[in-house]
Structure 1
């Protein structure tokens, strides 16, 4: 019963928060601003939206192709079309419960390729470790390149004295966490240590992989497609077409965070993108419109590919 309640809360709470954000955004705009946002949708150059979807398909393909290397390392061979459709279903499932797509990917291969769930899921964990490290690389580069812009924004929002206090509290928090991690025998800490050791094991397995360089190439290529499909979309609106690459990277980073921590960014994504673009002198209505253009087009693609994968999986594997 508790598991069911937790499951539903994990779905409903982010959705309700997303709806609340949308209502808040709508009420914060004047009628003229709302009409302005509508005009952006009407006058957008949708060629660049379609181009971003094509680029996204390359990312889907690369993620499915990369998966075969880690499966081969464990001695399993899976048909590419099953890998691809499992990835598409994973993206679709992540629109409901964050990170539930990883479980669905492993379940698809268990059903159609007879690969044990724990083995398939272990390869996905290893992929996520690499993806997380590459994302941190984006964060590091973005924050270094755009340090002055972000510093001005933070100091404008948070007084210098409070910033120092937050820094001190952060350092104390790290010290307390480290001491608890090393010396505590709490059950929750032990479970976290087990998960962390699993991540380390997954990472080291990649280093022992026969095709590790191909695996790493596809890992970087996947994130390249993520950034590129975001970048080309800025040309869909005249108001965003002349922002620099630094602005694109920072908006991409914060947009990715909203997708990772909510129901794929529902409600939150356009607001965060608009707030970042304001730093680069893009009017908020234009930023909101841009955010919704990106989010809606990518979501439609995920729903379409995920739905088709659910349909074709049993058809293409009817002899299994």
Structure 2
């Protein structure tokens, strides 16, 4: 199988899956249900959508600002506009090839700020670990608020969290084993991998050497607060979901957080996942699905606008400098 064909599959399969899910969702609903869904989307309160858009932008800006706290311990002083544009082109890249954005983000900083790729990528891994801890905390709160309902939903969907945890632990174990073998080997290719790994580890350890740890923690909390706020605010745009309980919205947020990485930018999967869990908690189908689509469209609009502008402005901004 050629490299070009593999690349094509990586891009096309998640995209086609998302498009298929959109088509299947529309085809499996009645004409009246589709009409109600479209009406709910069109009649949504635009003010709250705009507020959600602004909150999403602030979260991305804070992520770009937070990045400097991890780069400074390694001796790199970078400019906020470049960090912000690197973050946004990374999110935009994920619409093409899922999870490719982190690589492009590190490469962008290498190109325009001369930060070695492996070190920049290491900082991104570390910040993802910090984000994962916050997400786990949010999941814990959601489980406490909606334990019985969430467990029932997972059972109905045949989702087994314990299996996911075991797979994750197994992958971590394999990773540790692989690194041990590479470390003890003197084989030529492994020496190159060790050099790359050394840079990655230096980038990852930067989180431990930060002088402004509290500022990093404050920005991390702010980022996730904005994520939550933009989701809670968007529920006010649809009258039928405006009175949904915090536990219900939090459960939908958690499900959406996992669904967004399933396809290119979460297309198809995110709206269906959010709508599905809202329906599980008793919200009418057209309103639940409308909220899923509005939330996804708002987040996507932020990425398309600032990601697209960043692709254009990055070379212009740095040529001027």
Q: Please tell me the TM-score bracket, short chain as reference.
A: 0.7 to 0.9
| 1:259 has 2:276 as partner | no
The C-alpha deviation readout for 1:13-48, integer Å capped at 9, x for no partner, is 011111111111011111111111111122110100
Deviations 1:41-75 (A, max 9, x none): 22110100000000011101100100111110111
Q: CA offsets per residue over residues 118-147 of structure 1, 9 Å max, x none?
A: 111111111111111211111122112210
User: Which range moved further: 204-213 or 37-46?
Assistant: 204-213
* Structure-2 change in CA distance of 1:152 and 1:314 (3 Å): closer
Mapped contact 2:153–2:277 kept (Cα < 8 A): no
- TM-score, structure 2 as length reference: 0.86
Q: Which moved more, 1:202-211 or 1:125-134?
A: 202-211
Per the TM alignment, residue 188 of structure 1 is displaced from its structure 2 partner at its CA by 11
Instruction: Note the 1:98-247 alignment, pairs <5 A.
Output: 98-154=98-154, 170=163, 177=170, 181=174, 204-247=205-248
| 1-structure distance, mates of 2:205, 2:102 | 20
For residue 317 of structure 1, what is the aligned residue in structure 2? 318
Q: Which residue number corresponds to residue 59 of structure 1? A: 59
Do 1:123 and 1:202's aligned partners in 2 also have CA atoms closer than 8 Å? yes
Distance 2:182 2:146 in 1: 36
CA distance in 2, matches of 1:148, 1:189: 46
Aligned residues: 311
The residue number in structure 2 matching 1:248 is 249
Deviations 1:81-127 (A, max 9, x none): 11111111111111111121111111111111111111111111111
Deviates most, 129-138 or 51-60: 129-138
Shift of 1:221: 1.1
The answer to whether the 8 Å contact 2:235/2:291 transfers is yes
Deviation at 1:3, TM superposition (A): 3.2
Quickly say closer, same or farther: Cα 1:299–1:185, change in 2 above 3 A: closer
Report if the CA contact (8 A) 2:119-2:199 is conserved.
Answer: no
- Between 180-189 and 220-229, report the one with greater CA deviation: 180-189
Distance change (3 Å), C-alpha of 1:263 and 1:183: closer
Structure 1 residues 199 and 138 mapped into 2: Cα distance closer, same or farther (>3 Å)?
Answer: farther
CA distance in 1, matches of 2:107, 2:157: 45
- State the shift of 1:5 in Å: 2.4
CA shift, 1:255, in A, is: 0.4
Other-structure match for 2:296: 295
Which residue number in structure 2 is paired with residue 32 of structure 1?
32
Q: Is the 8 A contact 1:126 1:199 kept in 2?
A: no
Q: Which residue of 1 aligns with 2:186?
A: none
1:183 Cα deviation after fit: 11
Aligned residue in 1 for 2:92: 92
Deviates more, 1:1-10 or 1:46-55: 1-10
Uncovered stretches (5+) of structure 1, i.e. residues with no partner: none
* Contact 1:129 1:203 (C-alpha < 8 Å) held by counterparts: no
List 4+ stretches of structure 1 deviating above 4 A.
154-158, 180-191, 194-204
